[in-house]
Structure 1
Amino acid sequence: MQIFVPGKLMLSGEWCVLEKDLPCIVMAVNAGISIFIEPHNKYLFAAPDFEIATTEFNYTDNGEIHWQTPLNEIQQAQLNLSRKTMEISLRYLQTKSIALNHFSLTTSSKQTIVEKDDGKKYKIGLGSSAAIAVGIVSAIFQLHNIDIEKPQTQKVIFNIACIAHYLVQDKLGSGFDIAASVWGGVTYYKRFCAEWLTEQIEAGGIMSVLDKDWPGLHHETLNFPANLKLLVGFVGYSANTKKLIRSLSEFRENSSQEYMDKMREIAMVVDKVKQNILAQNNQEILKLLTQNRYLLRDMNQFSYRNLETTELALLADIAEGNNATGKFSGAGGGDCGIAIATNEEDSQTILRSWQESSIIPIDLELSSRGTRVELF
């Protein structure tokens, strides 16, 4: 059985979504990760894209996974999220009195990786780690005959993947990438209350929150205009999102008023983008996304963090010079940027100019569905 999980790109609301009650708009895309799972007489796990061959593991009576095949420190770190996600998923099934089945599970992330001419592979910023967490929960659930496209199941999948990601990433992040992978489409999103989640886990354990609605969490599907064209370009190097979040958090602590003022400005733009998506007002959407770009660029200047790098700025400038809008998508510092154009002629001009500037076009489309069983 194969599970497909879409990746994500941020349309609007970078950084402000980390703050309480502030939104973003995230897009699920048709490149993501695949999980292959089948019944087995042992527990086996493989991640060939990370050069991790089939690895046996045991699931203990106290709900922990231990690798039986020797792994070095780097490999153990690479599998930390997968291990945590499997632990929580299997423990959840036990709380529902569902008999556990052994399985062989393999992840494939090749759609979220670009190999350049020098032979090196780069993650391009489609939220592959979040998608892997979502995919692992989905695969284990589906193997145990739980329909992963039911709304209640989707909520639990989000909760498990989000907690696993949250704990492994030192309680950083907002979960917007997980939302895109679970529900698909174009989503207006606000993060959960992190303080509530931490308190609940400390008081009652992880299992106590998996079936609950989380305070503050909001996701709403938007009907993105079909005649707007999404263009995606990879600037040739990957960003370290975790490092960027920590760096901006340091700045936030020292300059909280300046930081929060800018976050609220970005949030106001996000809400206007939402209103104009609902109204299908294409030209206003483009103007607002350009405004979003320049608010993010302001952060470069007052925080001294290199979010809109030279290459990301060039990507956006080329878009703006051809009747479109462009901006980085996600944390910045590398990975992908996006352009939104209104016609095919401008789109092709932008793509050619990107290639001439050593920006790699990535052929992506919106994915209307989230995590799902892939039919052959």
Structure 2
Amino acid sequence: MLKGHDFLITVKAPGKLYIAGEYAVVETGFPAILVALNQFVTVTVKESGDYGSIYSQQYRENSLLWKREGNHMVFDNRDNPFHYILSAIKLTETYAQEIGKKMKCYHLRIDSDLDSPDGKKYGLGSSAAVTVATVKALCHFYNLPMTKSRLFKLAAIAHLDIQGNGSLGDIAASVYGGWIAYNSFDRNWLKKARHRYSLTALIDRKWPQLNVELLTPPKELSLLIGWTGSPASTSHLVDAVGLKKAEQVKNYQKFLHDSRACLKRMIKGFQTKSLATIKEEIRRNRKLLQSLGVLSDVQIETPLLHALCETAEKFGGASKTSGAGGGDCGIVLINDSSNTQALLANWKEVGIEPLDLHVHRVND
């Protein structure tokens, strides 16, 4: 979405949820399914005189996280949205300068409805959405040639520079919208390619293993989302699983193999409009994530997420954790003729908040 007048540019980028394929998608070429949602980060750019500003009502009192490594205090900025904003600005302006644009001053305003009113994270990919929206807004501001592929690549590099891990599937969902099947690209190749190519050449090249396919769900499919009220740090959970996979090579490889097969069948279910197939593979993916949690000693499915899933199953839905787990959201795929009101009421009784969110399709 784009509006512009009197050097004022306003764009939106949607949040996302993982449907299936979490953790495996971090590995090069492994698939996941995500969906973009109708909650947004909005970025406004207005040309200014001799100074610029970055302002966000939501992030003005953002805290810093740190931990101990021996006697050292180590800061972790991967959950700090301003670092993603600054990285997005740096990458986009590098691209602009490469194609001969003159740099300007501007005021950047960020508004987000991806978090709860009291500032808690729902796990809807706010860092990805703010990165995409910032890149998109500045591309319009500088009148840069832009496609969804270029937007994804610029935002992916900017995000990866801060987070350091992850699949960038959340960036893809925020760029492409709707339901997508996503295969992660070779990040080792990207690391080397950044030294070999200009940024302009890099975002126009084919990235090894990267693939984004738009999916159309069966008409009777209804997506329900429940929030546990407990935020989780994706970066830290992915780090923890990454640490264990080196110790559990054989079991981890089996998890990857089984996840790929599961996702291939699920994608086929979308292509053939078979809700029964999709639900069957959602249940299988849940079991795979449970097994990964055991072998990596990471609590992916917390007690409240377990209750969310088991309740959904009683009402005929196929349910699992969404994203890294450890808190945040669970999802349910269910026939739209089912008694979802009774299911949602049951969630509320045990302290799970149903989120009134819908799939968002990106038009421009």
Deviations 1:74-110 (A, max 9, x none): 899542211111011011111111233322111112x
Give the match for residue 123 of structure 1: 121
Distance 2:240 2:293 in 1: 12
- SS of residue matched to 1:50: coil
Amino acid paired to 1:248: V
Q: Answer yes or no: is 1:99 the counterpart of 2:97.
A: no
| Structure 2 residue 84 is the aligned partner of structure 1 residue 90 | no
1:192 Cα deviation (Å)?
0.9
Alignment map for 1:209-358 (pairs within 5 Å): 209-358=202-351
Structure 1 pair 96/147, CA: closer, same or farther in 2 (3 Å)?
Answer: closer
Q: Out of 16, 25, 30, which is 1:17 matched to?
A: 25
Q: Does 1:199 pair with 2:208?
A: no
Structure 1, residues 189-241: CA drift from partner, whole Å, max 9, x if none?
Answer: 11111111011123446555222221111111111123211111110110011
Task: Identify the residue that residue 28 of structure 1 maps to in structure 2.
Answer: 36
CA contact (8 A) 2:54 2:109 kept: yes
How far 1:164 moved relative to its partner? 1.0
Amino acid at match of 2:115: I
Could you tell me which residue of structure 1 aligns to residue 161 of structure 2?
Answer: 167
- CA 1:140–1:268 in structure 2 vs 1: closer, same or farther (change >3 Å)? same
Q: Which of residues 49, 56, 73 in structure 2 aligns to 1:47? A: 56
**TM norm structure 2:** 0.89
| Matches of 1:369 and 1:74, distance apart in 2 | 29
**In structure 2, do the counterparts of structure 1 residues 74 and 302 end up closer, same or farther at CA, with 3 Å as the change threshold?**
closer
Letter in 1 for 2:85: S
- Does residue 112 in structure 1 map to residue 114 in structure 2? yes
Match of 1:58 in 2: none
Q: Are residues 316 and 363 of structure 1, via their aligned partners in 2, closer, same or farther at CA, if it must alter by over 3 Å?
A: same
TM-score, normalization: structure 1? 0.86
Deviation at 1:52, TM superposition (A): 5.7
Instruction: Determine the structure 1 residue equivalent to 2:143.
Output: 145
Cα separation, 2, equivalents of 1:248 and 1:76:
18
Contact 2:92 2:138 in 1 (8 A): yes
| Superimposed CA distance per residue, residues 272-329 of structure 1 (whole angstroms, 9 cap, x where no aligned partner) | 0110111111122111111111111112222221001111111111110101111111
Deviations 1:322-341 (A, max 9, x none): 01111111011011111111
In the alignment, the residues of structure 2 paired with residue 317 and residue 23 of structure 1 have an alpha-carbon distance, to the nearest angstrom, of: 26
How many aligned residue pairs are there?
343
**Residue type at the aligned position of 2:156:** C
Question: Distance between the aligned counterparts of 1:19 and 1:245, measured in 2?
Answer: 11
Shift of 1:50: 1.1
Q: Distance in 1 between matches of 2:359 and 2:329?
A: 15
Q: Is the 8 A contact 2:94 2:199 kept in 1?
A: no
Secondary structure of 2:246 counterpart:
helix
More moved, 343-352 vs 74-83: 74-83
Amino acid at match of 2:108: L
CA distance in 1, matches of 2:299, 2:109: 36
CA distance in 2, matches of 1:2, 1:147: 17
State, as a whole percentage, how many aligned pairs show the same letter. Answer: 28
Q: CA RMSD in A?
A: 2.1
Larger displacement relative to structure 2 (223-232 or 208-217): 208-217
Q: Is contact 2:78-2:163 (8 Å) kept?
A: no
2:134 and 2:213 mapped to 1: Cα distance? 24
Kept in 2: contact 1:200–1:208 (CA 8 A): no
In structure 2, the CA distance between the partners of 1:339 and 1:210, relative to structure 1 (3 Å rule), is same
Unpaired runs of 5+ in structure 1?
Answer: 54-72
* Whole-angstrom CA distance in 1 between matches of 2:197 and 2:53: 31
Partner of 1:56: none
Structure 2: distance between partners of 1:244 and 1:13? 15
What is the CA–CA distance in structure 2 between the aligned matches of 1:166 and 1:208, rounded to whole Å?
Answer: 18
Provide Cα deviations, 1:249-273, integer angstroms capped at 9, x if missing partner: 0101111111121121111111101
CA distance in 1, matches of 2:199, 2:26: 22
